[in-house]
Amino acid sequence: MNPLARKIVFPIVSILLFLMLWSAFAASIETSLGDFPSPKSTWSAFVDLKDEYLGEKQNRKDYEQRMVEKETTFYEVQERRRIKYEERGREFTPKTFTAPPYAGKPTYPEQIFRSLKTVFFGFLIATVIAVPLGIFCGMNEFIRISMNPIIQILKPVSPLAWLPLVTLVVSAKISQDSSMEKSFVISAVVVALCSLWPTLINTALGVASVSEDHLNVARVLNVPQRVRIFKIILPSALPYIFTGLRISLGIGWMVLIAAEMLAQNPGLGKFVWDMFQNGSSQTLGMIMAAVITIGGIGYMLDRGMQMLENFFAYEKSKG
Amino acid sequence: MSETDTPKPYIEIRDIGIAFGKGKSRVQVLEKVHLNIQEGEFVCLIGHSGCGKSTLLNLVAGLYPPSAGSCVVDGSLVKSPGPDRMMVFQNHSLLPWQTIRQNVALAADCARPELNKAEKAEEVEATLEMVGLSHAMDKRPSEVSGGMKQRAGIARALITKPKVLLMDEPFGALDALTRGKLQESLLEIWERNRITVMMVTHDVDEAILLSDRVVMMSNGPKANVAKILDVGLPRPRSRMEAVNHPLYYQYRNSLTRFLHDNKHHHGPKVERDPEEISLGFIPLSDCAPIIMARELGLFEKMGLKVTLSREPTWRAASKGLMEGRNHASMMLAPTPFLHNLENPGKPIQSSMVLSRNGNAITLRKNLQELGIHDRDTLATWIKQQPPNKKPVFGMVFPSSMHNLILQDWLRAGGIDPDHDVEIIVIPPPQMVANLELNNLVGCCVGEPWNSLAIQKGVGFVPEADDALWPSHPEKILTFTREWQKSNPDKASKLTAALMQACAYCANLENRDHIIQTLAQKNAVHLPEETFAFSMRDQFDNGDGHVKDLPGFHQFFEASSTYFHEDEQRWISEKLRQAGVTPVHENFSLIFDETTYREGCALSGYSPAEGPALSTPHFSNTRIGRLAEGVPA
């Protein structure tokens, strides 16, 4: 098949067909909040979100401008007061101006960024736990056998089941004035809890399937344990580990939306929830826009991980 | 090497044994393997797959502990793996994510902590240069050829300065050309370092080329050291010199024969019809009676069910009888005498002579350029040769007429077969190739191999068989006494059928039919013209003249099927003279007169009477005197 047709024409045709079907069905579904959003209304939601973002940006700029003016005024007043005080021989303690934080609502890109930050933080926690644990499981059959039932039981648990527990624990552990927001930590931990399993299992598998010959080389050379892990076992297990990480990140992204909805972490999940709650006529279009955004970002994350995975798998298959 | 009389072995493998698995599936792979290796020795382990060669190597490496016995290297017991016993693995086992330099450096880091960073880097480069990889140091294993990977594997092993280098079929996965190059490189490197090497291989030539000793392992389970071959080729060696060395083919043959004799017979054993007789034969011109008996249906006429089993070597033929694979077999006339001395519990006997004559001495054609065309000119030339370059003659089997005839022929020309020349064993089908390679001066072999040598232009025949020992017994029909005792009827009928076949073969009018039949795939499977002359009692000497040689092959003339007691004595005596059997051994007859006579009765021929058909030609020998009634 012509590569051009394969890579461009067919996907475009299928997307167009999908849009047509979507429009046809959207018109026929009526909800309590009006018609199901058509592609057109979804598009206009995107445009609104953009306008909103630009508007908000302008607002912020205006606010900052006002604050600069306020600051100038503040210091002018203070200066006058200081002169007055000195004339009267009274002691004067100067104050610094602090602008109150901008209280505008977060924009859509900010929410996307927040979601990404949360998912990567959760993913990081998962990786930090799963990879070393996986190496232990892979290197020692005893540990592997002992861990297996625990992994198998915890693996299918839904994020919604974890959430109340995580909320309580995090609330107890994190004080109000911590630099990290509770909702952020809760969402990230839930993401980590649900996404660490594929990495753990794949790492263990990768480590357990390191070539016997390479291990024999290590044994004959009396390679120290640390070198053995970092120069032989890990490089050999990397393709497996990256496959695990890719699956983990995919799961993490899916879990994140639910976690954010319930933990009220101001990312895409909360955006969807808020839209649902406010019930305006625009709601459905906005939700649809969020759905498409979530899908698109999920797709891009997956492609990125796949590229990494292929790179390492290729590196290994060459040898 | 140590100066003491018995140097202490560098590697001592003491009654080592290992078993894998548990309970019923437990397999004793090695049992009581005992082997000593000296420092600086290059030893190859050879044997069929699954004989535990690699396992033995891994035991020395310490990769797994033995179930019994122990291994001591340089005075210390092997308990765990270590870089002093570095391994070169079959599939190179380089780390694919590291460059060749990094792979070798990793080994240096682990095994040579005394070196500082700069010294280490220098050593890595020097070692890689030694194996011829200086141009590819910074490539990944995936970017270089299989041979280069294996070179890198060797470099990685050498940099650890091991006491013992263990190589597990290092060149097994390479193509022949690359393998050859690597073997030569390894030889060169070994000459420079002279480290102790244990190497597992499947390749007979590789083993001879490289090693001081070849350890042949018996088949598993319970594998053990079966034989050890000392390779006495001079060092430093090169492939061409080794291959052209007269001893090379002798070594090669003994290894090949060992591997062949130890071949696994895979697959389920076929249930045999108890009535069926399996008759072994060797594809040669004088297997004609056996082939013709089948062709003419003579076995069926006697009410026998006979299947023929084509045997590759004489050793296989006697083994076939011993193992009961064959009930009866075509055999070289002198073989049972030796066999019965070695196996007194399971004697072989013969009920008839299948053929007489049929041998020739063939000399290498290019000797004619030196003015050699008969025995006298040959003798003069041989006397002129330096004592360390003895001319080599080939014959097919120690206990063969060929050996006896060749020795007698040489002696009659004033050449001492024990001192002036070297006589080595080469299977008949390889004889021509060895003449072609100038490895042999000449040989004594049966037909059609002389004719083939002549037709290929590599040989000429100074004296055909007729002049050697006229009408000597050549091939006989043999079976074990045990089988004859329990199947006297079958033994007689078999003899009778083959007598009729011999009579058919004796008739010159039938020879065209015989030539056609012999050329077929299930017989000798050579072109008809190869048999054409000798089967028509003619012989092309290789000088362009075709001579008539009446009775070149004698199958059934004037009581030729009878193995006279005098003939048996002569052969027995000649075997002693040739040093094949010990001098003091008692002689026992092998001819089964009863079966012979019953065979005669069944086939309708009258049994032989009177003196022996043949007398040896050379009366100036001890045997000749014996024949003339002079006490030895």
CATH number of B246's domain: 3.40.50.300
Instruction: Confirm or reject contact between A319 and chain B (CB < 8 A).
Output: yes
pLDDT of residue B623: 40
- Min Cα distance B71 → chain A (Å) is 16
Q: Same domain for B294 and B239?
A: no
pLDDT of residue A319: 42
Q: What is the DSSP letter of B366?
A: G
Yes or no, beta carbons of A219 and B93 under 8 Å apart: no
Is residue B189's pLDDT more than 60? Answer: yes
Does some domain include residue B608? yes
Q: Same domain for A52 and A179?
A: no
Does some domain include residue A149? yes
Q: What is the mean pLDDT of residues B290-319?
A: 86
Q: Same domain for A133 and A241?
A: yes
pLDDT of residue B441: 87
Tell me what percent of the residues of chain A surpass a pLDDT of 90: 48
The 10s digit of each residue's pLDDT in A89-126 is 888 888 888 888 887 778 899 999 999 999 999 999 99
Is residue B487's pLDDT more than 60? Answer: yes
Does some domain include residue A87? no
Q: Same domain for B174 and B245?
A: yes
Q: What is the mean pLDDT of residues B73-95?
A: 89
Does some domain include residue A207? yes
Domain CATH number, residue A126: 1.10.3720.10
Does some domain include residue A89? no
Yes or no, beta carbons of B93 and A220 under 8 Å apart: no
Does some domain include residue B145? no
Instruction: Confirm or reject contact between A211 and chain B (CB < 8 A).
Output: yes
Look at residue A99 and give its three-state secondary structure. coil
Q: Same domain for B402 and B539?
A: no
Tell me the helices (H) and strands (E) count for chain B, helix number first. Answer: 23, 23
Looking at beta carbons, which residues of chain B come within 8 Å of A233? none
Name the average pLDDT for chain A.
88
Q: Same domain for A196 and A56?
A: no
Question: What is the DSSP code string of A279-290?
Answer: --TTHHHHHHHH
pLDDT of residue A283: 81
Instruction: Confirm or reject contact between B160 and chain A (CB < 8 A).
Output: yes
Q: Same domain for B476 and B600?
A: yes
Q: Same domain for A40 and A133?
A: no
Q: Same domain for B349 and B363?
A: no
Lowest mean pLDDT among B118-132, B320-334, B497-511, B554-568: B554-568
Contact of B140 with A319, CB cutoff 8 Å: yes
**The last residue of a domain, from among B467, B494, B509:** B467
Looking at beta carbons, which residues of chain B come within 8 Å of A211? 93
Is residue B421's pLDDT more than 70? Answer: yes
ipTM > 0.85 (yes/no):
no
Domain CATH number, residue B450: 3.40.190.10
Q: What is the DSSP letter of A187?
A: H
Q: Same domain for B199 and B226?
A: yes
Tracing tokens 């005893």 back to the chain, one arrives at A142
Looking at beta carbons, which residues of chain B come within 8 Å of A315? 96-97
**The last residue of a domain, from among B261, B285, B311:** B261
Q: Same domain for B615 and B530?
A: yes
What do you get for the CA distance between the two ends of chain A, in Å?
31
Name the residue facing B61 among A220, A223, A236 (closest C-beta). A220
Q: How many domains does chain B contain in total? A: 3
Contacts of B235-243 with C-beta under 8 Å, sequence gap 24+, read B235/B191, B236/B187, B236/B191, B237/B187, B237/B209, B238/B184, B238/B187, B239/B180, B239/B183, B239/B184, B239/B209, B242/B208, B242/B209, B243/B205, B243/B437
Q: Same domain for A27 and A153?
A: no
Pairing of strands B348-357, B473-480: antiparallel
Instruction: Confirm or reject contact between A213 and chain B (CB < 8 A).
Output: yes
Does some domain include residue A91? no
pLDDT of residue B125: 93
Q: What is the CA radius of gyration of chain A?
A: 27
pLDDT of residue B615: 63
Instruction: Confirm or reject contact between A225 and chain B (CB < 8 A).
Output: no
**The last residue of a domain, from among A70, A90, A118:** A70
Does some domain include residue A95? no
pLDDT-derived band at A1 (thresholds 50, 70, 90) equals low
**The last residue of a domain, from among B221, B237, B261:** B261
Q: Which amino acid appears at position B18 of this protein?
A: I
Does some domain include residue B102? no
Question: Which of A217, A223, A236 is best to mutate for the B interface (most B CBs within 10 A)?
Answer: A217
Contacting residues for A132 by C-beta, under 8 A, at least 6 apart? none
The 10s digit of each residue's pLDDT in B228-265 is 999 988 888 888 888 888 788 888 888 988 888 777 54
In total, the C-beta contacts within 8 angstroms joining chain A to chain B are 67
Does some domain include residue B4? no
Yes or no, beta carbons of B63 and A211 under 8 Å apart: no
Yes or no, beta carbons of B96 and A315 under 8 Å apart: yes
Does some domain include residue B488? yes
Does some domain include residue A219? yes
Q: Same domain for B495 and B554?
A: yes
The interface residues of chain B toward chain A in range 127-146, judged by CB-CB distance below 8 A, are 140-143
Looking at beta carbons, which residues of chain B come within 8 Å of A318? 96, 140, 142-143
Does some domain include residue B40? yes
ω into residue B221 within 30 of 0, thus cis? yes
Q: Same domain for B422 and B557?
A: no
Q: Same domain for A56 and A203?
A: no
Q: Same domain for B303 and B321?
A: yes
Does some domain include residue A154? yes
Yes or no, beta carbons of B86 and A235 under 8 Å apart: no
What do you get for the CA distance between the two ends of chain B, in Å?
49
CA atoms of B210 and B179, how far apart (whole Å): 12
Yes or no, beta carbons of A319 and B83 under 8 Å apart: no
**The last residue of a domain, from among A15, A47, A70:** A70
Q: Same domain for A64 and A112?
A: no
Q: Same domain for A302 and A251?
A: yes
Q: What is the mean pLDDT of residues A202-213?
A: 91
Q: How many domains does chain A contain in total? A: 2
Tell me what percent of the residues of chain B surpass a pLDDT of 70: 91
**The last residue of a domain, from among A70, A100, A120:** A70
Name the residue facing A216 among B63, B95, B140 (closest C-beta). B63
The interface residues of chain B toward chain A in range 56-95, judged by CB-CB distance below 8 A, are 61, 63, 80-83, 85-87, 89, 91, 93-95
Yes or no, beta carbons of B140 and A221 under 8 Å apart: no
Q: How far is CA B203 from CA B171, B176, B186, B425, in A?
A: 9, 11, 15, 21
- Min Cα distance B166 → chain A (Å) is 11
More confident call, A301 vs B383: A301
Contact of B248 with B497, CB cutoff 8 Å: no
Name the residue facing A219 among B63, B98, B160 (closest C-beta). B63
CA atoms of B187 and B233, how far apart (whole Å): 13
Tell me what percent of the residues of chain B surpass a pLDDT of 90: 18
Q: How far is CA B460 from CA B99, B441, B445, B456, B534, in A?
A: 59, 11, 13, 10, 14
Q: Same domain for A39 and A178?
A: no
pLDDT of residue B631: 40
Question: Which of A221, A227, A238 is best to mutate for the B interface (most B CBs within 10 A)?
Answer: A221
Q: What is the mean pLDDT of residues B115-141?
A: 90
Is residue B25's pLDDT more than 60? Answer: yes
Yes or no, beta carbons of A220 and B142 under 8 Å apart: no
Does some domain include residue B98? no
What distance lies between CA A129 and its chain's CA centroid? 18
Q: Same domain for A121 and A223?
A: yes
Looking at beta carbons, which residues of chain A come within 8 Å of B93? 211, 213-214, 216-217
Q: Same domain for A209 and A291?
A: yes
Is residue A196's pLDDT more than 90? Answer: yes
Yes or no, beta carbons of B87 and A315 under 8 Å apart: no
Lowest mean pLDDT among A120-134, B163-177, B256-270: B256-270
Q: Same domain for B463 and B368?
A: yes
Contact of B325 with B331, CB cutoff 8 Å: no
Q: Residue B552: which domain range?
A: 276-356+471-627
pLDDT of residue A316: 55
Yes or no, beta carbons of A316 and B96 under 8 Å apart: yes
Q: Which residue of B has its CA nearest to A225?
A: B110
Question: Which of A220, A223, A227 is best to mutate for the B interface (most B CBs within 10 A)?
Answer: A220
Q: Same domain for B40 and B176?
A: yes
Q: Residue A12: which domain range?
A: 3-70
Look at residue B14 and give its three-state secondary structure. strand
Q: What is the mean pLDDT of residues A5-28?
A: 89
Q: Same domain for A17 and A132?
A: no
Yes or no, beta carbons of A227 and B109 under 8 Å apart: yes
pLDDT of residue B629: 40
